[in-house]
Amino acid sequence: MRVPQTSLWAGEPSDGGPAGGGPLVRRFLVANVFTGTPLEGNQLGIFPDGRGLDADLMLKTTREMNFAETVFFLPPDDEDADAHVRIFTPGAELPFAGHPTLGSAWVLGEMLGKHTVTLQLGVGLVPVELERDGDAITFGRMSQPIPAWGAYDHTAELLDALGTTGKPDGLPVEWYRNGPLNVYVEIDGEEALAGLRPDMQKLGRLPVNASCFTQAPSGWTARMFAPALGVPEDPATGSAAGPLALHLARHGRIRFGEEIEIRQGAQIHRPSVLYARADGTDNAVERVLVGGQAVVVAHGEYRLA
């Protein structure tokens, strides 16, 4: 399904809205992100024209869509950006998230016919490079904010909520913040990872993305739980993929500059594939890159008021 090329901000929103005496209607798209296969990957609701919608209505619309995240495009304040993108989970607005960034850039790239799209997000400008085969986009790779990191102070509570002791000789439990706060727990093998049954009430009292991972024969497998944000389990977490590559590189599991493949989402029947790498050194991280595919699977209109 192709997205028509268009001038994003030509004219006023077409609905007129309550002030004009009519219903408030907005066009929307649905994309599956970190997959090239429809009905897999992470679902993303996309409203290409968010003008006239306040934060409360955006949050209510996100809850109506009932995906992990929904985004709203607005005219950018920065002349170097193609769009200002606001990202919402069912629980809150986020300054940055991975699959909404890739999915938004993919759709904007198709609408604008561009090879590089720059998004104005809560964390600042985020560029996304788009690879093409002719007119078709085949891959996207974002430059993520370089995260801060440190030791996590509530490891015992986190492991108890996850129902695991982690891997006995695994990497230390550490947090990384690139917008969301991701905490990484290494699990002792794919069977143990697949068997995790977190206590969502306990986990919901910890305002973190609990990113559990293990090494697999062909790369890495991950699961991410964030009930505090209204996301019990996420099919693909781009904001966690980049820091995972950095976490592994900092502790000598991979080399800096080595790209890893991360598989996620199989346990909730939304298989996803993400690619991530961290460039630089432990003392001087130069950039964090995360890539993958996306596919638009639906479009329509929503009456919002």
CA distance 103 to 291: 11
Q: Is residue 69 flagged as an active site residue?
A: yes
CA distance 156 to 105: 38
Q: Got the DSSP string for 231-287?
A: EEEES--HHHHHHHHHHHHHTTSS-TT--EEEEE-GGGT--EEEEEEEEE-SS-EEE
Indicate the burial class of 135 (C-beta count within 10 angstroms; 0-12, 13-18, 19 or more): exposed
Comparing CA positions, the residue from 197, 192, 215 lying closest to residue 268 is 197
Q: At 132, give phi and psi (nearest 5°).
A: -130, 150
CA distance 165 to 59: 36
- 179-192 b/e (C-beta count within 10 Å ≥ 16 → b): bbbbbbbbbeeeee
Q: How many CA atoms lie within 13 A of 37 on its CB side?
A: 8
- Active-site residue, from 40, 69, 174, 186: 69
Q: Which residues are catalytic?
A: 69
